[in-house]
Amino acid sequence: MKRYSVFAVAREALRQHQGWERAWPNAEPKARYDAIIVGAGGHGLATAYYLGRNHGIRNVAIIEKGWLGGGNTGRNTTIIRSNYLQDPSAAIYEKARSLFETLSQELNYNVMFSPRGVMMLAQTQHEIRGYKRTAMANSLQGVTTEFISPARVKELVPIINLEGPRYPVLGALWQPRGGTARHDAVAWGYARACAAMGMDIIQKCEVTGVSQKDGKVTGISTTRGDIACDKLGIVVAGHSGVMANHAGFRLPIESVALQALVSEPIKPCMDVVVMANTVHGYMSQSDKGEMVIGGGTDGFNNYTQRGSFHHIEETVRALNETFPMISRLKMLRQWGGIVDMTGDRSPIISKTPLGNCFVNCGWGTGGFKAIPGSGWAMAELMAKGEPGPLALEFNMWRFKEGKFIDESVAAGVAH
Ligand SMILES: Cc1cc2nc3c(=O)[nH]c(=O)nc-3n(C[C@H](O)[C@H](O)[C@H](O)COP(=O)(O)OP(=O)(O)OC[C@H]3O[C@@H](n4cnc5c(N)ncnc54)[C@H](O)[C@@H]3O)c2cc1C
């Protein structure tokens, strides 16, 4: 695969862009692979990439029922941060965040990582205590965060209303190297790098069954025929329960819709990401100028990629309090994705009851930021058959054993 470079852009400019190659071919399924990954979202593609890059396993297929990156990876609000409380979470999210720093160079694809800084507002005494505790935990974990004053909040975000009709801003947890990246580009960059290693990306191909013998997976049934494999990775986010059902086991996962919306584009007015967990909403400004706004999950299980109307109303009301200027903006569009929630709001990267079948799910409302770290950890698990240090605590049996990794505060509205 030809490298993208300034010289390539200049050359193509001179020949009217006739020489670009397809970023990845549309592969036809082969009869057998060493490893199959179900789900071509960011996590599935990153798993395949690190299987090839770190472990030399390249006879790999990534099977996607729709189009690559068309699930939550293409629907999220792209916030990247690693200011979690528990050690295993801080470790995997910080690994991911640090990989984002050089991901564009690594993949030779501009993922537009923008470490503009992420702040989580403290609007109650309880939140002040919680975020100060997180800042201290983060300093022990090697994650750079600090608790900042309302004056510093105003300095960083001039459009914010510190007084708030219901909740004043009392400070914030600030992660200066948190930020955003372009979600599609993350999926596309990994896909192109996987294809360059000879992996097959097979789109419009739904996995409908998992065949097994003596407690091991032998292959999968798909809408485009049966495919044999030595190892199977299930990385399908909101459809994890459905895939686990095909494989004959159950996961401690609930699927719910989470939604977001964007305003019309306006001039640059906010160059950090702000989350307001108490009033329940968060906002950043995209490179196009739209205000990107996210809210909470629906309070009931479902598989519709929509989200209910009252959440839009609640989210906009919440952000009107925090940023009164948005009351004058027109909202352009709204969308939803199906997120996979665990009881402790931490992910699952785990072996399963089937010997050579592995699962990566439960990222819920906040898995975009984890894509590089999650792919790294899942690839290690699939290659070695045992979890490495990053995935060790995220096994699916922790719910039976009571070894929760409780991130319900860190993962509330804050993605
Ligand atoms: C509105 C919204 C806002 C969010 N905001 C943020 C944020 O700001 N920051 C953050 O870190 N996270 C955020 N998230 C969460 C984040 O998007 C997800 O955690 C992450 O994208 C999950 O990636 P994934 O690769 O696991 O799943 P997906 O991208 O959903 O990929 C799974 C893929 O599996 C495919 N699939 C499913 N079943 C089958 C089957 N049977 N056969 C073949 N393929 C199948 C699906 O089509 C899909 O493409 C948000 C999510 C939403 C919905």
Give the DSSP letter string of 300-339. Answer: EE---SS--HHHHHHHHHHHHHH-GGGGGPPEEEEEEEEE
Pick from 67, 183, 286, 365 the residue to mutate for probing ligand 1's pocket: most ligand atoms within 8 Å of its CB: 365
Closest residue (by CA) to atom 21 of ligand 1?
73
Higher pLDDT, 350 or 306: 350
Residue to mutate, 72, 306, 407, ligand 1, most ligand atoms under 8 Å from C-beta: 72
How does pLDDT run across 73-120, given as a tens digit for each residue?
999 999 999 999 999 999 999 999 999 999 999 999 999 999 999 999
Residue nearest to atom 37 of ligand 1 (CA): 236
Residue nearest to atom 51 of ligand 1 (CA): 76
Lowest mean pLDDT, pick from 34-48, 289-303, 400-414: 400-414
Q: Which domains does the chain have, with CATH numbers?
A: 22-82+85-90+183-252+346-401 (3.50.50.60), 118-181+255-341 (3.30.9.10)
CA distances from 123 to 126, 145, 275 (A): 8, 18, 11
Please give the distance, rounded to the nearest whole angstrom, from the Cα atom of residue 238 to the centre of ligand 1.
Answer: 7
**What is the CB < 6 Å shell around ligand 1?**
38-44, 63-66, 70-73, 75-79, 206-207, 235-237, 239, 243, 258-260, 294, 337, 339, 363, 365-369, 415
As given in the structure block, the two tokens for residue 292 are 């990107």
**pLDDT at residue 410 is higher than 70:** no
Q: Would you say residue 347 has pLDDT above 60?
A: yes
What distance in angstroms lies between residue 363's CA and the mean position of ligand 1's atoms?
8
Cα 50 off chain centre by: 16
Q: What pLDDT, on the 0 to 100 scale, is given for residue 264?
A: 97
Q: 């036809």: which residue's tokens?
A: 28
Q: Report which ligand 1 atom has the smallest distance to the Cα of 66.
A: 47
Task: Determine the distance separating the centroid of ligand 1 and the alpha carbon of 143, expressed in angstroms.
Answer: 25
Q: Give 217-285 as a DSSP string.
A: EEEEEETTEEEEEEEEEE--GGGHHHHHHHHT---S-EEEEEEEEEE---S----SEEEETTTTEEEEE
Please tell me the distance between residue 318's alpha carbon and the centre of ligand 1 in angstroms.
25
Give pLDDT tens digits for 299-315.
Answer: 889 998 887 888 889 99
165 — pLDDT class (breaks 50, 70, 90): confident
State phi, psi for 357 to the nearest 5 degrees. Answer: -120, 135
Q: Is the dihedral of CA 293, 252, 407, 390 positive or negative?
A: negative
For residue 69, give Cα distances in angstroms to 154, 182, 198, 201, 232. 36, 12, 19, 12, 20
Integer Cα distance of 220 and 247 in angstroms: 9
pLDDT of residue 405: 95
Distance CA 124, CA 16 (A): 58
Average pLDDT of the residues of the chain: 95
| pLDDT at position 167 | 94
For ligand 1, the distance from its centroid to the CA atom of residue 6, given in whole angstroms, is 32
138 C-alpha to center of ligand 1: Å?
27
- State yes or no: pLDDT of 141 exceeds 90: yes
Strand partners, 146: 174
Predicted confidence band of residue 214 (pLDDT cuts 50, 70, 90): very high
pLDDT band at 413 (very low <50, low <70, confident <90, very high): low
Residue whose token pair is 């495919």: 227
pTM: 0.97
pLDDT value for 156: 98
Give the H/E segment covering residue 99: helix 87-101
Atom of ligand 1 nearest to the CA of 374: 26
- Res. 164: pLDDT tops 90: no
Q: What is each CA distance from 31 to 36, 37, 60, 208, in whole angstroms?
A: 11, 15, 12, 16
Token pair 């665990």: residue: 342
**Cα–ligand 1 centroid distance for 302 (angstroms):** 15
The atom of ligand 1 lying closest to the CA of 366 is 12
351 CA from centroid of ligand 1 (Å): 20
pLDDT of res. 411 = 60
Find out whether 360 and 38 touch, Cβ atoms under 8 Å. Answer: no
